[in-house]
Structure 1
Amino acid sequence: MHEIKSGLWVNPRVPEMVVRPELENLAKTYGKFWCTWQTDRGDKLPMGPPALMMSPQELDLGIVKLDLVKKRDDKYNISTEALKSSRAELAVPEPELMNPQADYWKQHGKGFAIEVEKTEMKKITAFP
């Protein structure tokens, strides 16, 4: 995953040696995950619809605003370049088989949206 090897992916305030096993597993994924708590919007609680987030595979990876990366680095007292160097040896194998529907949006120019609606909670069994 580009974000991990480039040092863009960080787990703030978690030492690199602690997060390393997670990064090694995550680096093997295709770069999609469900985001349920979008803190960059200022959400105080994980409310609202989950969003399928993805990295821009095979697209212009220069779309990251360097001033935002610097601001993040300054805030958490980290170095993107140091992270990049420390993660250089991470093995990120190419996927053996890529599902042709993995990037549906690139093929069709459309994606999917999840809508949240209020509904009555029905108590079917005794709780707890």
Structure 2
Amino acid sequence: MKKNYPQRTFFIASRPSLLLTILGLLTACAGNTTSSNVVAPGEEKTPTTRTLNAGAALLQSRPPIDALNAYLDGFHFYNGHPEVQMEAHHYCSILNEEVIQCVIYDGNRKDAKLMGVEYIISEQLFAKLPDAEKALWHSHVHEVKSGQLVAPGIPDIAEHALMEKLIHTYGKTWHTWHTDLNKDLPLGVPQLMMGFTADGQIEQRLVTDRDRRLGVDSTQKKKARADIPAPAIDPGADAWRSGKVIQIEDPTGRPHQH
């Protein structure tokens, strides 16, 4: 099914000369190098189930899935628990020039578990939100400038243009399956996640391991992105920095951050 490529203008409005390059290569494969953190309990697929899957793949259309045409890899932590960190593989659909929606997995192989979702909006839309809503969102400035956020598999020039746009956005992220904590089922309630805002916050081993698996160099990307101006961050975002922590109370009493 044909993808809606014109939606990708969200990322390239300021660099129209890169249009053809990005449109042709944004879906490039970065290699299936990261397996899931857990094995879900249950019996193996039966021949009947495999046949049904194959038939569905051939006969059913999946427009929302086909629209997932951008792959981003970065890192999150539990709001209120910056020491509990994990890698997050984002598969994103660009709805328009100011809104992106992403599904988040714990790997980039077929066995990856759906961990959650992230909604990404422009700084213009974010500025219009009420203060109570802003507290749920995190900025992307440090993720971009540090080289932590990457778009594996596309040329550096295309990724650079992409990051020039993402640095002006904010994300709201909920994780629903906490495989980073070795939970083999999606237990408990969703947890609000945040992004890093300064050097020294992330465990460097996470970045080093990710870079090795995906064949990227975060240090080099940080240097290459030095020319991207860092916009002022809305004071309503990243509320955890001022001690405002928001999480859903879990009626099961099951701890999520330990």
**TM-score (norm: length of structure 2):** 0.33
Deviations along 1:78-119, one digit per CA (max 9) or x if unpaired, are 211211111110012214x534xx45545564303398xxxx
- Does 1:111 find its partner at 2:111? no
- Does 1:33 find its partner at 2:168? no
Unaligned regions of 5+ residues in structure 1, if any? 116-128
Unaligned regions of 5+ residues in structure 2, if any? 1-140, 251-258
How far apart are the structure 1 equivalents of 2:162 and 2:175? 18
RMSD: 3.7
Letter aligned with residue 33 of structure 1: K
Give the match's secondary structure for 1:34. strand
User: Do the aligned partners of 2:144 and 2:167 also contact (CA within 8 Å) in 1?
Assistant: yes
- Does 1:67 find its partner at 2:205? yes
1:125 corresponds to: none
2:217 corresponds to: 79
Match of 2:161 among 21, 25, 30: 21
* Bigger strand share: 2
Match of 1:93 among 231, 253, 256: 231
User: Do the aligned partners of 1:4 and 1:27 also contact (CA within 8 Å) in 2?
Assistant: yes
Deviation of 1:11 after TM superposition, in Å, equals 1.8
How far apart are the structure 1 equivalents of 2:210 and 2:154? 14
Query: Aligned residue pairs: how many?
Result: 110
How far apart are the structure 2 equivalents of 1:90 and 1:39? 34
Deviations along 1:22-69, one digit per CA (max 9) or x if unpaired, are 211111235x33357979749xxxx89765432244x6x312122221
Identity across aligned pairs (percent)? 27
**TM-score (norm: length of structure 1):** 0.58
